[in-house]
Amino acid sequence: MGMSLLPPAADKCPICATAHEPQLPHNPQSLYYFYRFHASRGDWPTCEDAAAHCTPQIRASFRDRWTYAGGKWTRPLGREPIADPPAESINQVVEIENAGPEIVAIDEHARRAS
């Protein structure tokens, strides 16, 4: 069974559907970010991906705050982090062919990350 995620509102980031400044990281826990990334990249996003478009200073600060708050800093396996700068993207519908297994995969990813 397929399903679609509606495009983010105009005042939200087109990549993660969360309100943040373009130079700051995407929300690594955004469901929209997970599906959009998976649909276009063929892999699940990690914290490194969410911050890949940021300056080294912002990335380090984000990582410190993330881990201080108890979050696990996740990295891609077998590939380099993929940057998705908000300015180079449009708000788009994300089509999901089969929602079942991917939702399970997100649950497992979330459990690993927690």
Does residue 15 touch Zn ion according to CB under 5 A? yes
Q: Are 82 and 18 in contact (CB under 8 A)?
A: no
Residue 57 phi/psi, 5° resolution? -65, -45
**Least distance to Zn ion from the beta carbon of 99, Å?**
22
Phi–psi pair at 43, nearest 5 degrees: -150, 165
**Least CB distance to Zn ion at residue 27 (A):** 6
How far apart (Å, rounded) are the C-alpha atoms in residues 58 and 11? 22
CA 68 → CA 27, 57, 73, 77, 96, distances in Å? 16, 16, 10, 23, 34
Nearest-CB residue for Zn ion = 13
Nearer to Zn ion, 23 or 98 (CB): 23
Site membership for Zn ion, residue 47 (CB under 5 A): no
Among residues 16 and 54, whose Cβ is nearest to Zn ion?
Answer: 16
Q: Establish if 50 lies at the interface with Zn ion (CB under 5 A).
A: no
Q: With contacts defined by CB under 5 A, name the span among 1-9, 20-28, 52-60, 75-83 that binds Zn ion.
A: 20-28
Tell me, what amino acid is at 17?
A
Chain residues that interact with Zn ion, rule: CB under 5 A:
13, 15-16, 26
